[in-house]
Amino acid sequence: MIDEERCDGCMLCALACSIAHTGNADLERAHITVWRTQEGLHVPLACHHCETPSCTEACPTKACRQDLADGRVIIDDGQCIGCRTCVVACPFGHAHYDRVNRVSAKCDYCDGEPECARVCEPGAIRYVFADESSAHKRREAAVARAARALRS
């Protein structure tokens, strides 16, 4: 879950991601990016692991595929030929092309314990189960309503 209002653009998520996946602090090879909007908001963007991913449809080798067990969209380095079709096909701008390994790469949720969520101090990035995400938003809305009621 991404809360862009909490993000302050520190880029620790991208640093942690690149170190975890490549061993180097190389923002260009991180699987998460932080965009700054015209209104000054910072928006962390990573793969959404879509239910019907455009990238898997476009991949000619099935290197980019959906894990049937947990629904993650992953890229198999061994089968990827680096054609970058998934990069142009993704509507969100993920995956990206790793120029060192010469293959496409994207967020893989770090096998269940994402580094970006672990290091995010403002709490802009949180890793929750899908069935909990809507409950989380309902709790936030209830807290906001209660706060307004107390102030009035």
The nearest distance, CB 71 to other proteins, in angstroms, is: 18
Distance in Å, CB of 32 to other proteins, minimum:
12
Sort strands 32-36 and 103-105 into parallel, antiparallel or unpaired. unpaired
Scan residues 5-44 and list those touching other proteins (CB under 8 A): 5-6, 8-12, 15-16, 25, 27, 34-43
HEC string of 32-73? EEEEECCCCCEEEEECCCCCCCHHHHHCCCCCEEECCCCCCE
- Chosen residue from 122, 126, 127, 136 binding other proteins by CB under 8 A: 122
Q: Which of these segments, 67-75, 106-114, 117-125, 130-138, binds other proteins (CB under 8 A)?
A: 117-125
Please report, in angstroms and rounded to a whole number, the separation of the first and last CA atoms in the chain: 31
User: Looking at this protein, which amino acid is placed at residue 103?
Assistant: V
Verify binding: residue 91, other proteins, rule CB under 8 A: yes
We find the least distance from the C-beta atom of residue 105 to other proteins, in angstroms, to be: 10
Binding mask 50-89 for other proteins (x = CB under 8 A): ----x-xxxxxxxx---------------xxxxxxx-xxx
Please report whether residue 1 would count as binding other proteins according to CB under 8 A. Answer: no
Q: What are the structure tokens assigned to 115, written together? A: 């580094």
3-state secondary structure of 20: helix
Distance CA 106, CA 95 (A): 5
107 near other proteins, judged by CB under 8 A: no
CA distances from 67 to 14, 126, 133, 137 (A): 24, 21, 21, 27
Q: By CB under 8 A, name the binding residues for other proteins.
A: 2, 4-6, 8-12, 15-16, 25, 27, 34-43, 45, 54, 56-63, 79-85, 87-93, 97, 101-104, 119, 121-123, 144-145, 147-148
